[in-house]
Amino acid sequence: MIAIINYNAGNITSVARALQNIGQEFIITDDIKKLDAASHVIFPGVGAAGEAMAYLREKKIDLWLKNYIKTGKPLLGICLGTQIILDYSEENDTKCIGLVAGSTKRFPDKLTSGGQALKIPHMGWNSVTFHHSHPVFQNISPDAEFYFVHSYYPAPSDDSAVLGITDYGINFCSVLAVNNLVAMQFHPEKSGRPGLQILRNFCAWGGNA
């Protein structure tokens, strides 16, 4: 069973619809006992780091995630659920969960590309350059584009955690992977066929890269 963590961070409905689209059974919950029973866990989210971490600490889901990752079962982070698995976020000056060493940083104020100013948040379709293959990204075309909406991005301390990068004025980590954890800054549930393929791959993944 796939579990989607519910921590009042938005966008859960879109993830649920995507799983329905691929015929995958799931539950949406913040109940630790129900999360324990899951074979795979999706940690999505749209919102502010400070508010999200307050809810996770209240429900003790931050501690649960630290224990879950040690089980070897697969964990998928999406957007805010990617940003707050690091140690710290510049958004709201927030101490985060710390599943991966590093911090979440805000885009510089004056981003440009080809002499043109870029808007923040980064919003729309963009590509990902992958450093190496990974089971969660099997059968994804190198030309595929994914949907982004964010002003902050993950910056792992160890480059080996960076699976994919995206160019938006700067090159930033858009996909990170460590053991049984894969997390992406873009929204697979809003990224059409490539996004649905990523979700299919995740649901079939055993947790080994």
Catalytic site residue from 40, 122, 150, 187: 187
**What would the two tokens of residue 29 be?**
């919950």
| pLDDT averaged per 10 residues, the chain (length 209) | 91 94 96 96 94 95 97 97 98 97 95 87 96 96 96 97 97 97 98 98 90
Domain ranges, ordered by start, for the chain: 2-204
> Which pLDDT score is estimated for 113?
84
Nearest to 185 by CA among 81, 111, 108, 106: 81
- Concerning whether 173 is annotated as a catalytic residue, the answer is no
Q: Active site includes 79?
A: yes
Going through the chain in order, the beta strands assigned E by DSSP cover: 2-5, 26-29, 40-43, 75-78, 88-89, 94-95, 102-106, 112-113, 116-117, 122-127, 129-130, 145-150, 152-156, 162-168, 170-178, 181-184
| DSSP-assigned states of every residue in 98-131 | -SSSEEEEEPPSS-EETTEE--SSEEEEEE-EES
Sheet holding 170-178, edge to edge: 26-29, 2-5, 40-43, 75-78, 181-184, 170-178, 162-168, 129-130
Strand 40-43, strand 26-29: pairing = unpaired
pTM of the model: 0.96
Q: Which CATH superfamily is domain 2-204 in?
A: Class I glutamine amidotransferase (GATase) domain (3.40.50.880)
- For the record, the structure tokens of 168 come out as 């938006």
Residue 91 annotated as catalytic: no
State the catalytic residue, choosing from 79, 96, 173, 203: 79
Per annotation, catalytic residue among 96, 122, 189, 203:
189
Cβ-contact 40, 202 below 8 angstroms: yes
